[in-house]
């Protein structure tokens, strides 16, 4: 798999999560020596030190490069990738199955799809609101995927040629760059494999449940107004 796949992770100040994510990658089947690119947006905490310690300890094929907002970091990682397939991950994910990455890659190498994504499973303390939000997100995403693909930034695997043809992530977007990118894909060439990864409720805690709901609604209402996504919505404050 190391000749097929590059994993790109944009991050900033992820000292609480990045080690868990890297360990989760290492436990995945058939990805020994897969290239990992960390696009760090000038972290001011111990993120880079932790990454380099893990790299040296386990002799990982891992590079840390200077990134920016997630779209910038993902595009930079994609430019550096020398493999036909790229997996974009967030810095706070783990996996529900030991073959999650292999399963997604198998779908792409079948040449039936250009992009594969998943829906996150809630991981963390008991929080019925977060669990409900994850559940709603799952079924809305699946229902709409046949008309308008949405590959979440937490787990997007794409053919590099398709990535180039689509022009990559829109670096002018202040948020929802993952949706803007993936909705360009032909729905017939897009696949969701549910529940391959986990995330916790930290974004809900940071921004509030109601604020997140309003953000999603505004995004949907303005889905055909690209200028809206270029304005600062306060998401990456």
Question: In which band, very low, low, confident or very high, does the pLDDT at 100 lie, cut at 50, 70 and 90?
Answer: very high
The CA distance from 146 to 192, in Å, is 10
pLDDT in tens, 21-68: 999 999 999 887 799 999 999 999 999 999 999 999 999 999 999 999
At residue 1, the pLDDT reads 57
Q: How does pLDDT run across 67-88, given as a tens digit for each residue?
A: 998 999 999 999 999 999 999 9
Distances (CA, A) of 43 to 19, 46, 51, 71, 175: 15, 8, 12, 16, 19
Does residue 234 register a pLDDT over 70?
A: no
Cβ neighbours of residue 111 under 8 Å, at least 6 residues apart? none
Inter-CA distances, 110 with 30, 35, 43, 113, Å:
17, 22, 38, 7
Q: What is the pLDDT of residue 237?
A: 42
Q: Where are the beta strands (DSSP E) in 118-231?
A: 120-122, 155-159, 190-192, 197-199
Mean of all residue pLDDT scores within the chain = 91
Lowest-confidence pick of 6-10, 34-38, 110-114, 233-237: 233-237
């Amino acid at each position: 798999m190391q000749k097929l796949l590059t994993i790109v992770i944009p991050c900033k100040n992820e000292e609480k999560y990045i080690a868990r994510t890297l360990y989760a990658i290492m436990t995945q089947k058939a990805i020994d020596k897969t290239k990992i690119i960390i696009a760090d947006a000038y972290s001011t905490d111990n993120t880079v030190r932790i990454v380099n310690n893990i790299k040296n300890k386990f002799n990982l094929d891992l590079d840390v490069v200077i990134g920016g907002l997630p779209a910038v970091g993902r595009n930079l990682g994609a430019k550096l990738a020398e493999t036909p397939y790229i997996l974009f991950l967030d810095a706070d994910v783990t996996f529900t199955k030991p073959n999650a990455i292999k399963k997604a890659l198998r779908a792409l190498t079948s040449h039936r799809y250009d992009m594969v994504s998943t829906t996150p499973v809630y991981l963390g303390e008991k929080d019925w609101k977060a669990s409900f939000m994850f559940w709603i997100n799952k079924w809305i995403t699946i229902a709409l995927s046949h008309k308008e693909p949405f590959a979440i930034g937490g787990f997007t695997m794409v053919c590099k040629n398709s990535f180039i043809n689509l022009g990559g992530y829109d670096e002018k977007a202040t948020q929802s760059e993952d949706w803007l990118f993936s909705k360009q894909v032909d729905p017939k060439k897009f696949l969701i494999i549910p529940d391959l990864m986990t995330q916790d409720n930290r974004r809900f805690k940071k921004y509030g449940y109601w604020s997140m709901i309003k953000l999603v609604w505004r995004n949907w209402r303005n889905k055909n107004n690209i200028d809206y996504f270029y304005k600062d919505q306060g998401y990456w404050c």
